């Protein structure tokens, strides 16, 4: 989907990604990388006493994994412009398997060579439950004109 | 700052974090973790031909590192509610050193035991340039009433 | 290319991957993961005295990175059957950028639902020099018959 | 075994390595490093529906771990020349413990200072089952002549 | 505690850290990083036959995790001077949750701008059992005199 | 050296390890693993203003890397008993290459099947400068008596 030029994307286009299981390893690696060792993610005893009853994945871990489902290698994305309305709507536990569903919801020309595309992203687990939503804003190439 | 109860935070309160240098290692580790190997981050030859002239850090890498600057270990944060208006306003190159500046911009009670706090986050590099902004929404504990 | 059914691949089909820069980080991470800390890869002083004059990437690092260029997520690959004639034909130095070129060189039916495909793989650096070759044997799905 | 000069290795010499348990961590780390997130390795739900019934380790993960069992630090190996007849003969599941058995099967002089040695490598799990075989070709030093 | 100047620390002062669960991931990552793949840490079958009955964490893993509990970001620590009397008094198993208790036990001036502080460190698991002790020697700043 | 039984080690025995270059990657990975992001190790700007003029490796990083030089796989070590008199005598900078020199300095029987051996460890860089010293106490097997 992100291999397309601005012109070839239409409001309403949808795309579903592969999935990845979120493991204890992912949580430890993300805590390590980010430096966020909040006990809700990394202390089994502490997490057991919260409303979740166990450790949960960091919100930004979930967003980061989701970003990797999208293959940008064809190079039509000029830049990641921003995110709007990110909401963490449910926990991701160790062993849950998440995937992404994207929909084009808005397009705006930004000059002769580029346009801004808004994708609504839903991140769902293996039960179909939405664990996070976000609007992704991507600056994409327009088709070269001959 | 995130060690405080909802009542002890006031609109206008500000906090400045320590800083961390973003290394080539960070970019490779984040590409690996997320699965986002977009060439702008991981292919030196390809990146040299872009407007940036070199590899740049992933936007979510920058947000993730920023999240680690905040010490949540005192446990007043109930949940990371969401993010609004995230904008990547400039590139982070290998060797840049970033820190976070937070300001409380809004508070809303959400029941007798919790409240929602909106923090405006600016991520700045060693030249004082803002490379990303975001509004962080945190669900925080209210002071236990005796 | 690996998203195709056995029937849709033809001897002579070719595919070129994206590229990835091999960094010092990659060499340290692969030494750590594999446990192979041979000084040619990890000791700058020692490597300086070899014919290469500097540290070089592990052969299996190069093969492993190459394997990640191929997107198997569409699920037509049943199993990675094996490798033949792997040769490391030149060093990969820190900072080199490698990609893969694949060609279908042989196909063999292995029953009604699967076939074996042999891909000739060349791994090249940014100067077009071949640093490794290998024949990859993949067990792939045949098209379901109606 | 790889600490010996070419002259001190004889066809028929055998060596057995220590063992290492392949964990979920290893699979996630290898997927991350290589970029190969094929669902057979990383999606618990998807893998459960395959012939294996669960996630399995990547073939190149198994070869990479095996390479780390061999201590090259004494420096008699000049270069890793190549691999022949690599076959993945059985799955490695999370929790399996693998080791390597090597046998010298061929020697060939390649000049006054070096020789090529072919080692037959069997990688076995805790049940003695062979999960991979390969012929390793190593360019090794000949004894300095006085 | 380590944010204080030398003058503001008194013999007998105590501090208790947050906790972190030691996972299989931590043991694999530390084995990888350090290169210490001793089977007691990394081979499930081998470890099962020892007095511990299972894999245990490396002693230096435990010390390293403990070091991360202390926030040095305020910059009153000039240097980590050394360690005395480090003893590993019990095993840390996969799934155990450890924290640190520190006590100031000695102070010594080392010139007009610095002093040496000895902290007695106890590392305890979720059952309150001490798994390691050490004396940490820290060179700390004295208060600037006006 | 650590493959020997208690009886086969003699006071005065010496051993010199291979070496490993400490890279920026090692420092980032250790900061991540341990959670110790002290700016002296991870903030290039901050470190430039210290007496060292640049980032330096963590003391426990140096000890951890040193521990990996010793091959324990032959299994004569029963347990890592402790450390005495650890002193960090000089900085390790990015790009320095360190190795270990061990000497047996004391032996004590601890029963019919085990003995305590004290090794004096010096960690040296590529210039021969000692960057850390420590006494390692290892509980080792005695020779089985027939």
Q: Where are the domains of chain B?
A: 6-141
Place of tokens 């076959």: D87
Place of tokens 């010490």: B71
Nearest residue, CB atoms, B24 vs list C19, C25, C97? C25
pLDDT higher than threshold 90 for residue E4: no
- How far is it, in rounded angstroms, from Cα E121 to Cα A134? 45
pLDDT number for residue E24: 98
User: For the segment B33-50, what is each residue's pLDDT rounded down to a tens digit?
Assistant: 999 999 999 999 999 999
* Residue from D113, D101, D135 nearest D7 by CA: D113
| H-only helix segments in E1-146 | 24-34, 39-42, 44-48, 59-68
Average pLDDT, chain D: 95
Buried b (16+ CB within 10 A) or exposed e, A20-37: bbbbbbbbbbbbbbbbbb
Closest CA–CA distance from residue E29 to any residue of chain C (Å): 8
pLDDT number for residue E107: 97
pLDDT higher than threshold 70 for residue E146: no
- Name which of F25, F73, F97, F99 to mutate to probe chain D: the one with the most chain D Cβ atoms within 10 A of its Cβ: F73
Q: How confident is the model over C11-28, as a mean pLDDT?
A: 97
| CA angle (A51, B33, E33) in 5-degree steps | 100
Chain A residues whose beta carbon lies within 8 Å of the beta carbon of residue E20: 37, 42-43
Identify the segments of chain A with pLDDT beneath 50: none
* Residue from B12, B7, B25 nearest B102 by CA: B12
Chain D residues whose beta carbon lies within 8 Å of the beta carbon of residue E25: 23, 25
C-alpha B74, offset from chain centre? 19
Average pLDDT, chain C: 95
User: For the segment F81-118, what is each residue's pLDDT rounded down to a tens digit?
Assistant: 999 999 999 999 999 999 999 999 999 999 999 999 99
User: For the segment A77-102, what is each residue's pLDDT rounded down to a tens digit?
Assistant: 988 999 999 999 999 999 999 999 99
Q: How confident is the model over D131-140, as a mean pLDDT?
A: 97
Q: How confident is the model over C134-141, as a mean pLDDT?
A: 96
Chain E residue whose CA is closest to F26: E33
- Here the tokens at position F8 are 């086969």
pLDDT number for residue C60: 98
- Here the tokens at position E71 are 């926030």
- How far is it, in rounded angstroms, from Cα F8 to Cα F10? 6
Q: Predicted confidence band at F75 (pLDDT cuts at 50, 70, 90)?
A: confident
- How far is it, in rounded angstroms, from Cα E130 to Cα B1? 32
Query: How many Cα atoms occupy the beta-carbon half-sphere of D42 within 13 Å?
Result: 30
pLDDT number for residue A131: 98
* Cα–Cα distance list, F125 to B29, B95, F19, F21, F60 (Å): 27, 25, 9, 9, 16
pLDDT number for residue C83: 98
Partner chains of A (3+ C-beta pairs under 8 Å): B, C, D, E, F
pLDDT higher than threshold 80 for residue E37: yes
pLDDT number for residue A73: 79
- Higher confidence at residue C70 or residue D136? D136
pLDDT higher than threshold 70 for residue E70: yes
pLDDT higher than threshold 90 for residue E108: yes
Q: How confident is the model over F135-143, as a mean pLDDT?
A: 95
Q: Residue A31: enclosing H or E segment and its boundaries?
A: helix A24-34
- How far is it, in rounded angstroms, from Cα F64 to Cα E32? 11
Q: pTM above the 0.95 mark?
A: yes
Cβ distance B24 to C29 less than 8 Å, yes or no, reads no
pLDDT number for residue F3: 80
Chain D residue whose CA is closest to B32: D32
How would you classify the pairing of strands E77-88 and E14-21? unpaired
pLDDT number for residue A94: 98
User: For the segment E122-133, what is each residue's pLDDT rounded down to a tens digit?
Assistant: 999 999 999 999
pLDDT higher than threshold 80 for residue E54: yes
User: For the segment D17-49, what is each residue's pLDDT rounded down to a tens digit?
Assistant: 999 999 999 999 999 999 999 999 999 999 999
Chain A residues whose beta carbon lies within 8 Å of the beta carbon of residue C20: none
Chain D residues whose beta carbon lies within 8 Å of the beta carbon of residue E32: 29
Q: Predicted confidence band at D4 (pLDDT cuts at 50, 70, 90)?
A: confident
pLDDT higher than threshold 90 for residue E104: yes
- ipTM of the prediction: 0.95
For residue A64, count other CB atoms closer than 10 A to its CB.
24
Chosen CATH of A6-141 out of 3.65.10.10, 2.60.40.1120, 3.10.129.10, 3.30.450.20 = 3.10.129.10
pLDDT number for residue B146: 67
Residues of A with a Cβ under 8 Å from any E Cβ are 24-25, 28-29, 32, 37, 39, 42-46, 55
| CA angle (B28, B32, B38) in 5-degree steps | 75
- Name which of B16, B17, B19, B32 to mutate to probe chain F: the one with the most chain F Cβ atoms within 10 A of its Cβ: B19
Q: Quick one: residue C121, left, alpha or beta (phi over 0 = left, psi -120 to 50 = alpha)?
A: beta
- Higher confidence at residue C30 or residue B75? C30
- How far is it, in rounded angstroms, from Cα F43 to Cα F54? 9
- Higher confidence at residue D1 or residue D131? D131
Instruction: Give the N- to C-terminal CA distance of chain C in Å, as an integer.
Output: 24
For residue E48, count other CB atoms closer than 10 A to its CB.
12
Chain B residue whose CA is closest to A83: B86
Q: How confident is the model over C12-36, as a mean pLDDT?
A: 97
pLDDT number for residue A146: 66
For residue E67, count other CB atoms closer than 10 A to its CB.
22
**Cβ-based contacts under 8 A for chains B and D:** 8
Residues of B with a Cβ under 8 Å from any E Cβ are 18, 71, 73
Q: How confident is the model over D51-79, as a mean pLDDT?
A: 93
Is the separation of the CB atoms in A89 and A133 below 8 Å?
yes
User: For the segment B110-141, what is each residue's pLDDT rounded down to a tens digit?
Assistant: 999 999 999 999 999 999 999 999 999 999 99
Q: How confident is the model over B84-106, as a mean pLDDT?
A: 98
DSSP-assigned states of every residue in C25-68: HHHHHHHHHH----HHHH-HHHHHTSTTSS-B--HHHHHHHHHH
Strand order in the sheet with B14-21: A14-21, A97-109, A114-124, A130-141, A77-88, B77-88, B130-141, B114-124, B97-109, B14-21
Is the separation of the CB atoms in E44 and E37 below 8 Å?
no
- Name which of A30, A35, A45 to mutate to probe chain E: the one with the most chain E Cβ atoms within 10 A of its Cβ: A45
**β partners of residue C79:** C139
- Name which of D30, D31, D37 to mutate to probe chain A: the one with the most chain A Cβ atoms within 10 A of its Cβ: D37
Cβ partners under 8 Å of residue B98, min gap 6 = B19, B20, B22, B62, B65, B66, B92, B123, B124, B125, B126, B131
pLDDT higher than threshold 80 for residue F1: no
pLDDT higher than threshold 70 for residue F146: no
Q: How confident is the model over C105-130, as a mean pLDDT?
A: 97
pLDDT number for residue F87: 98
pLDDT higher than threshold 90 for residue D76: no
């Amino acid at each position: 989907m992100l291999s397309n030029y601005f012109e070839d994307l239409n409001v309403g286009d949808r795309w579903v990604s592969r999935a990845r299981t979120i493991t204890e390893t992912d949580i430890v690696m993300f805590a390590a990388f980010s430096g966020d060792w909040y006990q809700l993610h990394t202390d089994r005893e502490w997490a057991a006493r919260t409303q979740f009853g166990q450790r949960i994945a960091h919100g930004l871990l979930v967003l980061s994994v989701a970003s990797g489902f999208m293959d940008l290698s064809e190079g039509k994305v000029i830049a990641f412009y921003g995110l709007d309305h990110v909401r963490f709507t449910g926990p991701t536990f160790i062993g849950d398997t998440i995937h992404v569903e994207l929909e084009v919801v808005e397009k705006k020309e930004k000059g002769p060579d580029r346009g801004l595309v808004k994708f609504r992203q839903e991140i769902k687990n293996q039960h179909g439950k939405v664990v996070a939503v976000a609007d992704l804003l991507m600056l994409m190439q327009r088709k070269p004109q001959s």
